Amino acid sequence: MHTLALGKWQELPAMADQGETYEGHRRMRRASSVDENQSRIVRAFRQFGCSVQPLHAVGNGVPDLLCAFGGINFLVEVKDGAKTPSKRKLTPDQETWHREWNATVFVAEDTDDVCAIMMAIKMLASHAVKLQPPAGKIGV
């Protein structure tokens, strides 16, 4: 594999394929694959009235879904509950991203998890203050 570093092409060792650093440069990891149950989980969130934007193509540990309900935005990492526990673990990139993000990231393995997440989000939404821009303004 080749990458541009400091204005010239250089060969990176195989470890760069794992998103690790080499001589201080971090290689962008490919986008993650879609878990088989992601479409069911997206459908379940939408049945609750959520807006859902898939983010799995971003990769680099970014959670799979950006969701919104009742004025609350939240992130969801989808894991396939049918897989063995070792296959459901967060990747090192996901662990880092979740740890460094300044908010909660939910993990959903099945529609039961969606129900539990939505109970928490509905509780938050019921106490949230919705800010509306002044009439005639497009944005804030």
- pLDDT the model gives residue 57: 92
**Same domain assignment for residues 55 and 10:** no
pLDDT of 8 > 50? The answer is: no
User: Does 16 reside within a domain?
Assistant: yes
CB 106 within 8 A of CB 52: no
CATH of the domain at 65: 3.40.1350.10
Average pLDDT of the segment spanning 116-120: 97
Residue 123 has a pLDDT of 92
Gap between the Cα atoms of 136 and 4, Å rounded? 47
The predicted-structure confidence for 31-66, as pLDDT tens digits, reads as follows: 556 878 999 999 999 999 999 999 989 999 999 999
The region of weakest confidence among 19-23, 82-86, 117-121 is: 19-23
Q: Which residues contact 131 (CB under 8 A, 6 or more apart)?
A: 140
What residue spans of 7-108 are helical by DSSP H? 38-47, 85-88, 92-100
49 and 107 share one domain: yes
* Same-domain pairing of 6 and 66: no
Q: Same domain, yes or no, for 22 and 72? A: no
pTM of this structure: 0.70
Domain that holds residue 59: 38-127
Look over the chain and give the mean of its residue pLDDT values, rounded to a whole number: 79
Q: Based on the domain organization, do 26 and 42 belong to the same domain?
A: no
Query: 3-17, 40-54, 78-92: which range is least confident on average?
Result: 3-17
In a domain, 139, yes or no: no
